[in-house]
Each structure stands twice: as C-alpha cells, then as structure tokens.
Amino acid sequence: MNCKKKPLGKQSHRETSKEYSLDQLLAKSSKDDFVLSDEDKCWLNGSLVERKPKINQ
C-alpha cells in the first residue's frame, strides 16, 4: 500500500511516538473524531472497518 511509504505527518508522528496500541487509537479516534491524518487512517482502514462497531456498542 502506498500509504505505508508516505512520510509521517506532524499529527501521525506525535501519535506514533506515544506508541498507542490499535485499540487505544480506535478508542481515541471514535471520541476525538479522528486525530489521525488520512494517510495514517489508510493503513488502519482494514482494522477500523472490522473493529469500529465493537467500540460503538
């Protein structure tokens, strides 16, 4: 996927430097209306589609 090869943005660098787990990212994202940039969401997209409904329940 091209998304993985893109350089990290300011937002993504800040988030990944904290080493959030995927669960934490998803929980944070659903609350904060996505802190991740579109590039960062791209590589998470498969997991987001599968796991997001669990957070909303």
- Give the model's confidence band at 13: pLDDT under 50 very low, under 70 low, under 90 confident, else very high: very low
**Mean pLDDT, residues 12-34:** 59
Q: Is residue 4 part of a domain?
A: no
Residues 47, 9: Cα–Cα separation, whole Å: 21
Does 22 reside within a domain? yes
pLDDT at 53: 47
Q: What is the pLDDT of residue 52?
A: 47
Over the stretch 28-52, which tens digit does the pLDDT of each residue have? 655 555 556 666 666 666 555 554 4
* Domain tally, the chain: 1
Would you say residue 52 lies in a domain? yes
The structure tokens listed for 12 are: 């993504």
Question: For position 42, what pLDDT does the model report?
Answer: 60
Structural tokens at position 49:
């589609």
pTM of the model: 0.20
- Per the structure, the complete domain to which residue 19 belongs is given by 10-56
Residue 5 lies in a domain: no
Do the domain assignments include residue 35?
A: yes
